[in-house]
A = this chain, B = another copy of it.
Amino acid sequence: MKVKDLGEFGLIDKLTQILSVKDPKVVVDFGDDCSCVNVEGKLLLFTGDIQLENHHFIKEKINPEDLGWKLVSINVSDIVACGGKPKWGFISIGIPEETEYYFIEKVYNGMKKALDMYGFSVVGGNTTSSEALILDMFLVGETDRFVPRAGAEKGDLIFVSGYLGSSRAGLELLLMNKENYEGFEINLIEKHTKPSARIDLQPFIKSYANSCIDISDGLVGDLSHIQKMSKVKIVLEKNKLPVDPDLEKFCKKYNKDIFDYILYGGEDYQLAFTTRKENKDKFKNCFPIGYIEEGSGIFLKDKKGVKPLKSKGFEHL
């Protein structure tokens, strides 16, 4: 049997069983945005995310500063989704020896800008030579309340922290290789190449969210983790989904279904979370998009009624 026959989640299921954890200091192991361990009463969060040449980026097409920025941001996003602040990063880098130094320097400049903006340091690293460029970051965060995927409760409201689908449109625009892009197209491309983690929401997620996930694989795909792990039913209200005006222009110009982008587009690095109704005013500039009920599945409610949504989240294998 090949790895691709198992799919990403099938593979992860099998491998995590082999590594079963018995340490009582481990609060959360596999299956959430971060792992969590208890160190002298402090909850430490661990996460890691990688950017691989030819898989996550094309060297000739990416601004190396953006690459460094993105590597840091996607890791911070996982920490914030669990209610934490990023504290210490560790960078593992594989470099083809023919790489121009200026390229790597710019990647690190981009990392440094992101580190300064999010307020933490990379404290160590490992370097090796490789065929293609590998940038693997490991990040330790801290919280005093772990916000899991599994905490959504009946009656909770569901929020998203911003526009969705813009990053996928940006990627498609990039791949068109056009000579000239319109203003709104450049905006969409930037949302793909330079996403920001919502560290501004961290204090509120930590204090008021019952469950949270960062949207890297698409709204429905990522909410399905909250849905399954919380054992609840999710109802999204179509008319409440926030619509990026730039994405609207894109979909008009290229004749695309905007809800396909909003519901299934990936890599926006916004947060989806649930909170009790009485806390709904704690989250400024976030959008309530639905609610949690008893039951199971994810549904979309519009004028015509309520219909189940297919989960077609992005698998990485």
Contacts and interface: CB of A to CB of B under 8 A. Distances in A.
A3 to B, nearest CB: 5
A46 interface: yes
6 contacts: A2-B98, A19-B115, A23-B121, A48-B138, A50-B128, A90-B138
A175 interface: no
A176 interface: no
Contact of A105 (B14, B29, B30, B94): B14
Contact of A140 (B46, B102, B111, B129): B46
A161 B198 CA distance: 48
Contacts of A91: 19
Q: Classify the secondary structure of A's interface with B.
A: mixed
A126 B52 CA distance: 13
Contacts of A127: 8, 11-12, 15, 316-317
A112 interface: yes
A131 B130 contact: no
A54 B52 CA distance: 16
Interface of A: 1-6, 8, 11-12, 14-16, 18-19, 21-23, 26, 29-30, 34-35, 37, 39-42, 44, 46-50, 52, 54-56, 87-88, 90-92, 94-102, 104-105, 108-109, 111-112, 115, 120-132, 134, 136, 138, 140, 316-317
A183 B232 CA distance: 61
A4 B98 contact: yes
Nearest to A8: B127
Contacts of A50: 92, 94, 126, 128, 134, 136
The 9 lowest CB-CB distance pairs between A and B, nearest first, are A35-B124, A4-B97, A138-B138, A35-B123, A18-B108, A40-B40, A21-B121, A48-B126, A3-B99
- Count identical subunits in the complex: 2
A124 B2 contact: no
A271 to B, nearest CB: 19
A146 to B, nearest CB: 13
Contacts of A46: 88, 90, 123-124, 138, 140
Nearest to A95: B3
A55 B129 contact: yes
A186 B90 CA distance: 37
A47 to B, nearest CB: 7
Given A19-B108, A19-B111, A19-B115, 8 more contacts: A15-B127, A18-B108, A18-B111, A18-B112, A48-B90, A55-B129, A127-B317, A129-B316
A305 B102 CA distance: 47
A269 to B, nearest CB: 15
B317 A16 contact: no
A131 B134 contact: no
Contacts of A87: 37
Given A35-B124, A134-B134, A97 B18 contact: no
